[in-house]
Amino acid sequence: MTGQRRTALVTGGGSGIGRAIALRLAEDGFATAVLDLDTEAAERVAAEARQKGHASLAVGGVDVSDRARVDEAVRQVRDALGPVLVLVNNAGVSATEGFLRITDTSWNRIMAVNLNGPFYFCQAVVPGMKKAGWGRIVNISSSSAQSGQPYMTHYVASKAGLIGLTKSLALELGPAGITVNTIPPGFVDTPMLRASEERGFLGGSVDHHAELTPVRRAGRPEDIAAACAFLVSEEAGYVTGQVIGVNGGRNT
Ligand code: NAP
């Protein structure tokens, strides 16, 4: 399929890391589907890509934890832009709660969005990738799943699950020409990080933590997008089942 335009779907593409990934993949020549719970945010990012002359479709109001909506969204993207051959499972939610305070509702919501969502999307797009004999899946996990993080047991467990999903799926799909990798970001300046800072969950300001980071700055969404752009490229075909940390040296 070299030379032909492929379609990439980015979940949580309306904000932060997902936005940067969607815009970068558009620049790299992919037709992009910007999927988000927040319809206006998805529209804004897709419009930004289209203004630069790229094919981009907003798919708003989709909760990744709703399998029926996921299947419908993937069909909608396929009809408008062609089969999804690149999937970036980026949408995620976090929470900071002491372990004994975590309710079933909170635990289940985090798992539903961070782990069930990628499961549903992978099942929805893999048949099309198999048919094409080519596919790229990138799961955005978290450096906290490498190190552990107090007061975030549910979040960390969901992201560790996503790393496990990545490794197993990579082995199963390798023969079909599909690679599956995960990027666990660490400390990236996005609305999610700023919300944690505002609520006092970071144990210090973003600036303070940037000083403690080996490269002496917070991550930018574009840092994650650059790694993702490589992983979905043609030349990354021998890279699969990998955990590619992008964290300024905070986790090694
Ligand atoms: P963000 O700015 O909050 O963006 C997340 C996007 O996902 C938002 O647009 C959000 O929409 C959307 N979303 C949330 N729940 C959704 C759902 N159920 N269905 C569809 N879309 C949903 O966060 P971010 O910092 O860019 O994070 C992106 C990913 O990186 C997440 O998986 C996060 O866990 C991971 N990560 C981030 C960091 C970091 O330092 N920032 C570190 C480690 C891992 P709404 O705004 O409507 O909720």
187 ligand 1 Cβ < 6 A? yes
Q: How many CB atoms lie within 10 A of CB 36?
A: 30
Query: Would you state the pLDDT for residue 1?
Result: 47
The DSSP secondary structure of 28-61, one letter per residue, reads TT-EEEEEES-HHHHHHHHHHHHHTT--EEEEES
From 10, 24, 37, 62, give the residue whose CB has the most ligand 1 atoms within 8 Å, as the site to mutate: 37
Using 50, 70 and 90 to split pLDDT, how confident is the model at 4?
low
Can you give the residue ranges of every domain in the chain?
Answer: 7-188+221-236
Q: What is the mean pLDDT of the chain?
A: 97
Q: How far is CA 184 from the centre of its chain?
A: 9
Q: Average of pLDDT values for 178-182? A: 99
Q: 7-188+221-236, what's its fold?
A: Rossmann fold (3.40.50)
Nearest CA to ligand 1 atom 3: 192
| pLDDT tens sequence across 201-217 | 998 999 999 999 999 99
| pLDDT tens sequence across 127-148 | 999 999 999 999 999 999 999 9
Model confidence, pTM: 0.98
Reported in sequence order, the residue ranges of the chain that DSSP labels E, i.e. its strands, are 7-11, 31-36, 56-60, 84-89, 135-140, 178-183
Report percent pLDDT > 70 for the chain.
98
Supply the residues annotated as catalytic. Answer: 155
Q: How many CB atoms lie within 10 A of CB 218?
A: 18
14 ligand 1 Cβ < 6 A? yes
* Spacing, Cα 27 to ligand 1 middle (Å): 22
Helix (H) or strand (E) holding 248: none
From 142, 182, 192, give the residue whose CB has the most ligand 1 atoms within 8 Å, as the site to mutate: 192
Nearest CA to ligand 1 atom 10: 12
Query: Which strand ranges, in their side-by-side order, compose the sheet holding 135-140?
Result: 56-60, 31-36, 7-11, 84-89, 135-140, 178-183
Integer angstrom CA distances of residue 28 from 3, 5, 86, 178, 225: 12, 10, 12, 19, 11
Ramachandran bin of 88, using left for φ above 0, alpha for ψ from -120 to 50, beta for the remaining angles: beta
Nearest CA to ligand 1 atom 44: 142
| pLDDT tens sequence across 34-71 | 999 999 999 999 999 999 999 999 999 999 999 999 99
